[in-house]
Structure 1
Amino acid sequence: MATDKDKIIAKIEEQKKNPNLKLKVKERTEYFTNLLFYTLFDTDTEVKKNIEILEQTFEELVNLACWKIEKPCSKIWQSYLEILPEILQKLNKDAEAFMQSDPSANSIEEVYLAYPGFYAIAIYRLSHELLQFGLPLIPRLMTEYSHRLTGTDINPGATIGESFFIDHGTGIVIGETAIIKNNVKIYQGVTLGGLYVARKLRNVKRHPTVEDNVTIYANATILGGKTIIGANSTIGGNAWITASVPENSIISNTLEVKIKKVI
């Protein structure tokens, strides 16, 4: 005769209807992400040895996250491996942008080791290239892991140019179809988002385009797939923008601040 516990167990098992939902893939993706970062940046990490471990781990991830019977995802690794030097070159340019933009940076080593904005960019670039090969779950898990660690939420589908600088990082959101060109600086709390959310917009550009040499200060919100921030513009803190901005513009959100001396 079934006990109350048996009935509860049976009800839980009945509701576990997704055969592909294996939380192990999340844990192994986080391990893979850390291994990638160490392989590219840590002086004491032996690249050849780690590449072999990465390949084995990636094969494990394919078995967990590529649900097509013929497993076409297994062909991705070699192609991804070939572009890792190019990704590292871009990240080194990003690190230099941090040194040039932040007066509090004492050394390039400090940027690599201590800056959450740099880490978020690194994991974005590593996940973005992997996404191009048609394996969406792993890149998304990579950037969500980075999001949890840094407070910076960059969708791996976003397109970001060279020498990107993120200061502080906390609260930044960059949507899937956002386009950010070269030499852009973004401060904490900035959102590059959509005007509204609806499933029918799945294949539509929903997020802004930011042209070259733009600076966006803290807590600015820029929305809409048709919104373009023109080159060489500066967006002030707390600005709310839903329409395009011409190049060489300065946008400010000025509020009257009253100071009263209390006697």
Structure 2
Amino acid sequence: MTSTDALTAFFDQLATQGEQFRFRLPSRPDAGRFIDQLLRLLFPITQDCQSVSVDVQRTYDKLTDQLQCLLRPLQSQLSQSPESVSNQFFKRLPGIYSMLQSDARAIAENDPAANGIEEVVSVYPGFFAIAVYRVAHELLALEVPMLPRMLTEYAHSHTGIDIHPGATIGPSFFIDHGTGVVIGETTIIGKNVKIYQGVTLGATHVAKNLAQKKRHPTIEDNVVIYANATILGGKTVVGHDSVIGGNVWLTHSIDPHSLVYHQSEIQVRSVNSVE
């Protein structure tokens, strides 16, 4: 086969490859633009260089059109029309906004480095990841395939925080710093929970036949989880008002009001000492 024939065969393969996929997807850049503009509607703190004001109704109408556009490639997999899904999502937007206000307050009130709500909602990676998760979670509740995960992966790529849209997370959620945080699909998190960078809420092992099982832990109210702690397993429950120290590896449940910490031995000596 000549190089020309090989290239022609390759182009034919590309032309027919769509037959193997269940449905088309919206573009990732469009999904990113939608979530960025939606959050700007909810928190119009930053301004672009072309405007000094925000026309709420015009932005709302534009976002409605954008969401319907994102949903149309998925239409064969939706239980209702893109227009109906979009309408139901925006009816839920006040509830999403209320949850995000509680998250922003939790960060502003608990982080000594935070200089108010404005800083939290405009630059904090933890808040951005939580905000995108809350939007994606509602779309998943409306049985929208793929798009919720596209949104949370957009946040993941910008923040290093990986929250599956299927997780259940209560109000006043606080992620500090956040890089390397992983929250699995069946995780349940109560209210007023604080977690730090590098925390993993994951499964004890990965197998495809466990897809419909609860694989990730439950974190009850008022729990603090410090940096690089790993909590695994669908039956693992961290009782309310507990503190999980840094670098802890936990695969079993603990009672409320527990303090769990990892103890390591640290030795300090002079570099000039003789063995």
Given the two structures, how large is their TM-score scaled by the length of structure 2?
Answer: 0.90
Q: Which moved more, 1:84-93 or 1:214-223?
A: 84-93
With over 3 angstroms needed to count, the CA separation of the structure-2 counterparts of 1:24 and 1:81, relative to structure 1, is closer
1:64 aligns with 2:66: no
Q: Which moved more, 1:102-111 or 1:247-256?
A: 102-111
Asked if 2 retains the 8 angstrom alpha-carbon contact of 1:159 and 1:179, the reply is yes
Unaligned runs of 5+ in 1: none
Residue 22 (structure 1) shift: 4.5
Which position in structure 1 is the counterpart of 2:254? 245
Per-residue Cα deviation, 1:141-188 (whole angstroms, up to 9, x for no partner): 110000000100000110000100000110000001000000000000
Distance in 1 (alpha carbons) for counterparts of 2:89 and 2:78: 21
Unaligned runs of 5+ in 2: 46-52
Residue 64 (structure 1) shift: 1.3
Q: Which moved more, 1:22-31 or 1:219-228?
A: 22-31
**Which residue, out of 155, 158, 161, partners 2:167?**
158
Asked if 2 retains the 8 angstrom alpha-carbon contact of 1:20 and 1:67, the reply is no
Distance in 1 (alpha carbons) for counterparts of 2:22 and 2:33: 20
1:256 aligns with 2:258: no
Asked if 2 retains the 8 angstrom alpha-carbon contact of 1:193 and 1:223, the reply is yes
Alignment of 1:61-140 (within 5 A): 61-68=70-77, 72-140=81-149
Given the two structures, how large is their TM-score scaled by the length of structure 1?
Answer: 0.94
Distance in 2 (alpha carbons) for counterparts of 1:129 and 1:69: 14
Which position in structure 2 is the counterpart of 1:5? 7
1:172 aligns with 2:172: no
Residue 68 (structure 1) shift: 4.1
Residue identity opposite 2:93 in structure 1: L
Asked if 1 retains the 8 angstrom alpha-carbon contact of 2:244 and 2:261, the reply is yes
Task: Count residues with an aligned counterpart.
Answer: 263
Residue identity opposite 2:9 in structure 1: K
1:26 aligns with 2:28: yes
RMSD of aligned residue pairs (Cα, Å): 1.9
Residue 39 (structure 1) shift: 1.0
Residue 262 (structure 1) shift: 2.3
Residue identity opposite 2:235 in structure 1: K
Residue 137 (structure 1) shift: 1.2
Residue 3 (structure 1) shift: 3.6
